Amino acid sequence: MTETGKSVVSIADCKRYHYDTIRESLINIFTPWNSLGSFITAGQKVLLKPNLLAAAPPEEAVTTHPLIVEVLADMIREIGCKVYIGDSPGNDREEYTYEITGMKDVALKTGAEILYFNQHNTEEDANAVDNVYNLTGALTDMDLIINLAKLKTHSLTGLTGAVKNTYGCVAGKRKKKLHFEHPLPFDFSRHLVDIHLLVKPVFSLIDAVVAMEGMGPRSGKPKHLGLLIGAENAFAADLAAAVITGFKPNQVTTLAVARARGISGAVPGDLQIHGKEIQDCLVKDFDRGLASDGNLAGLLARFPLVWLRNNMNRRRPFPVINIGKCIACGKCSTGCPPQIISLKDKLPTIEYNKCIRCYCCQEFCPAGAIDLERINIRRSHLHEQG
Ligand code: SF4
Ligand code: SF4
């Protein structure tokens, strides 16, 4: 933060995923703080926390690109630190996810150690670092965390960037339980913000070289933006990402929560931009998908009224199975917190009257076969049964 109370956000060109291009871009990103060395000291254990939402290859833009993790791991190692890479993917194939996303290769090339959060501890683990969210015990041994997020649209929160990325520090079944207990975007986002403030990464970097637009965070389309965004304050980094992609700050529910709580970095006046001018980065044709209703989210921040919550809830879309794309793998059923997706004749059927619209099914679907639509549930339910 500057002397005037502004949060510094650094934006740098990074036109492609190429080692030297990324390295030059990262040097530019850290310039406002002199260098990466301002955050870390030789001998420290540094955890890199990428977004490893699913077992998807880098070109699908679901996960943080492995070359960014590789370059940063090299730069940290050169300072004399031990590097770790960790996340808890939203599936039960943790090791496979590290392989497909390219993280195992990164570990091999850089000597970084992979921390399998889901294996490290479960919600019952006595070593968990806090009592409320049971953050993975893998964090306990780390001296500091660098947050390596991916810029994507998100069905529940509008946009996922730096703040939401720390949700991956909640390991195992606890994540599913939080979705189940707090299905509304604004309520859920309160927990995302609390978790982020507990994890406290020293720096957040957003991979916006190729972002995801449309039906994110799992089934959207890759969109080339050619940028890296970095900040000490993750809310500020997310706000810059939101402005660049055309979101109103209140359409990103984590920012709406932060703004309601007076957390710095959540309103445009809080930002001090370095590097590229934000006006030169705007992406006018970015498909923001069916983002949650920002105006209502903003009103909720000030007026937590029951009718307002109901109004917001009524407008939220439902998941709809695209039978033409479905490969009948059943992963949506496994990932559904209230367990209301059953497989009939190998095809999934949703009990819509019990759907909490958490969109976990969409995140679990490897085939992009779950769309979101604002539908009349009674009609679709009849349609499904007929
Ligand atoms: S069907 Fe999908 S959106 Fe509905 S509760 Fe299950 S996982 Fe959540
Ligand atoms: S996860 Fe996707 S592909 Fe698999 S059964 Fe569900 S809808 Fe079909």
Number of domains the chain is built from: 2
Question: What is the extent of the structural domain holding 379?
Answer: 317-385
**CATH number of the domain where residue 369 is located:** 3.30.70.20
Question: 180: Cβ below 6 Å to ligand 1?
Answer: no
Q: Which of 229, 258, 280 is the last residue of a domain?
A: 280
Instruction: Provide the token pair at 291.
Output: 């983002």
Distance from Cα 371 to the centre of ligand 1, integer Å: 12
- Nearest by Cα to 50 from 151, 176, 193: 151
Question: 350: Cβ below 6 Å to ligand 1?
Answer: yes
- Same-domain check for residues 143 and 208: yes
Distance from Cα 326 to the centre of ligand 2, integer Å: 5
Given ligand 2 and candidates 326, 336, 341, 350, which is best to mutate, with the most ligand atoms within 8 Å of its CB?
326
- Same-domain check for residues 225 and 328: no
Catalogue the E-assigned strands of the chain.
7-13, 45-50, 82-87, 113-116, 144-154, 158-160, 203-213, 221-231, 271-275, 318-321, 341-344, 347-350, 370-373
**203-213/221-231 β-pairing:** antiparallel
262 located within any domain: yes
- Same-domain check for residues 220 and 333: no
Q: How many CB atoms lie within 10 A of CB 108?
A: 10
Res 382: pLDDT: 36
347 located within any domain: yes
381 located within any domain: yes
Res 126: pLDDT: 47
Res 169: pLDDT: 94
Grouped pLDDT means (10 residues each) for the chain, 386 residues: 84 98 98 98 98 96 98 98 94 89 98 88 50 82 97 94 96 83 89 95 98 94 98 98 93 94 93 97 93 52 54 80 94 94 91 93 93 73 35
Distance from Cα 91 to the centre of ligand 2, integer Å: 13
**Protein residue whose Cα sits closest to atom 6 of ligand 2:** 332
- According to DSSP, residue 278 is labeled G
- Same-domain check for residues 132 and 245: yes
297 located within any domain: no
- Same-domain check for residues 264 and 324: no
Distance from Cα 56 to the centre of ligand 2, integer Å: 15
Dist CA 314 CA 281 (whole Å): 34
